[in-house]
Structure 1
């Protein structure tokens, strides 16, 4: 039986679905009521992690998990880490700022070295 993984973005897919060895099919931006697709592909399990940028979609009329819930194949998977797109972006920005500071320090040190260096004249 195939398993379906629903993610709202390519990043979420890459983070969560790629390491899942048993995952056979991943559908990005799964926003429709797809009873026929679930039946056609013989999907046995639809999962969603507990950590997400926004879980409000679970409350509205267009809940992408409504059909899998009704079919009894929806499971909520406890996310081992609290990583979201926002936390990844914050880490990238912080690391970039630290890199820039290190680079500026190295450039200043190199400039100081060359400014104080004297060359031997071959005359």
Structure 2
């Protein structure tokens, strides 16, 4: 069996924290984030945006940015809302969520802007 990589992560080092599967991959560029939003729309999921301070990001509570974008299919509008949230809260992590109406759960979530660690 091959060695499994240990990701150095700690509560005291906010820049090292991992939040979801995509956190273990290299940071996504704008094209890759757009592809993820296109996927959310293609699945018929409702996009939503949340944000949190890096030091509180391991909490279950994140701030909701407006209401979920029920039925929104315009990828550019979804990306614009994520960017607006980031501009309004530049020090916070910004998370994009795709809510699955049928399963009544999150279909996906990912951090699209990472706040600066303090």
TM-score computed with the length of structure 2 as normaliser = 0.23
* Higher strand proportion (structure 1 or 2): 2
Q: Which has the higher contact order (CA 8 A, sep 6+)?
A: 2
TM-score computed with the length of structure 1 as normaliser = 0.23
* Higher helix proportion (structure 1 or 2): 1
